Amino acid sequence: MKFIHVTDLHLVARGEMLWGNDPFARLDACLQDIAAYHQDAAFCFISGDLTERGEKQAYKALKHRLAGFPLKTVLMLGNHDTREHYFEVFQDAPADANGYAQQALDVGNRRFLFLDTVSEPFNAAGWYCQDRQAWLQERLASAPGDIYIAMHHPPFDINIKYMDRIKLEHHQAFAGLIAGNPKVRHLFFGHVHRVVFGSWRGVPYSALPALNHQVPLVGGSVKSPYSDEPPMYGVITLNEDQVLMHYDAFWDRKELPDPPRPRKT
């Protein structure tokens, strides 16, 4: 099976620029590209920071745009989102029994868990309270087969000071929940606005660029706090013996002029 990972839209009002870029233009281009080439994907998930300031107007515009998008889309929240405004606009969005925007999706034998790591009251760092931990514990225990977890905040440092200060606060509790569970096959996250992959306590993980602006790997390598680097979406294919992942830089993909072909002599 195949699915799509998109993250950190940071939407503002349509036509409004953010850090010199147009978040909606990039979302449009991203969704158009996915619709053109990946309609065979089972679903698409967006791992948080749907909006820049949590405004209802931005959620409404997103809802309107997704109405014309052919893939089932799972929305998640990040620290730039407002849970209350999100649920006011996406009234039918799944929530757990405590009102957090968490959901489980079973596709065949595989279970996908989409976590809500947003802190309230506001804190840019991630939060995973005991109620949410209990929800996760139950879904982990009842999973019929392999488990794939998506969350906005990474539960570990990535050696970028700016991001490490705002990772998941309850990283030890989270680690305890998934420790030694051989069914947990991969961890997807957003928040860090760049390509990161590796493994943590034996679990492979991956993150990808945001759509609008990126976090420079080395602070000070550009004069602005954020950088303009290629946005991407992820195409993930799960086979019996493989988790295959491609990141496609849709915004920067350009044709090359047909080069002269040297002849073999």
Measured from the CB atom, the residue of 55 and 146 that comes closer to Fe ion is 55
- Asked whether position 229 contacts Fe ion by CB under 5 A, the answer is no
- Minimum Å gap between C-beta 52 and Fe ion is 9
Burial state string for 105-138 with b = 16 or more CB within 10 A and e = fewer than 16? beeeebbbbbbbbbbeeeeebbbbbeebbebbee
Q: Which residue is nearest to Fe ion (CB)?
A: 49
The SS3 call for residue 136 is helix
Within residues 4-33, the interface with Fe ion by CB under 5 A covers 8
- Asked whether position 49 contacts Fe ion by CB under 5 A, the answer is yes
Measured from the CB atom, the residue of 8 and 96 that comes closer to Fe ion is 8
Select from 23-31, 47-55, 94-102, 113-121 the region that touches Fe ion (CB under 5 A): 47-55
Q: How many CB atoms are located within 10 Å of the residue 29 CB?
A: 15
Measured from the CB atom, the residue of 49 and 229 that comes closer to Fe ion is 49
Alpha-carbon distances, residue 192 vs 31, 73, 216 (angstroms): 21, 21, 10
Measured from the CB atom, the residue of 49 and 96 that comes closer to Fe ion is 49
- Minimum Å gap between C-beta 80 and Fe ion is 6
Task: Tell me which residue of 47, 45, 82, 80 sits closest to 154, measured CA to CA.
Answer: 47
- Minimum Å gap between C-beta 126 and Fe ion is 12
- Minimum Å gap between C-beta 17 and Fe ion is 16
C-alpha to C-alpha distance for 175 and 91, rounded to whole angstroms: 32
Measured from the CB atom, the residue of 133 and 227 that comes closer to Fe ion is 227
- Minimum Å gap between C-beta 185 and Fe ion is 25
Measured from the CB atom, the residue of 7 and 103 that comes closer to Fe ion is 7
Which residue shows structure tokens 């002599």?
Answer: 265
How many chain residues are in contact with Fe ion, going by CB under 5 A? 2
- Minimum Å gap between C-beta 237 and Fe ion is 26
- Asked whether position 81 contacts Fe ion by CB under 5 A, the answer is no
- Cα Rg of the chain (Å, integer): 19
The residue ranges of DSSP E strands in the chain, in sequence order, are 2-6, 43-47, 73-76, 103-107, 110-114, 147-151, 184-189, 196-200, 203-207, 233-239, 242-248
Which residue shows structure tokens 């539960």?
Answer: 155
**What does DSSP say about strands 2-6 and 233-239: parallel, antiparallel, or unpaired?**
antiparallel
The residues binding Fe ion (CB under 5 A) are 8, 49
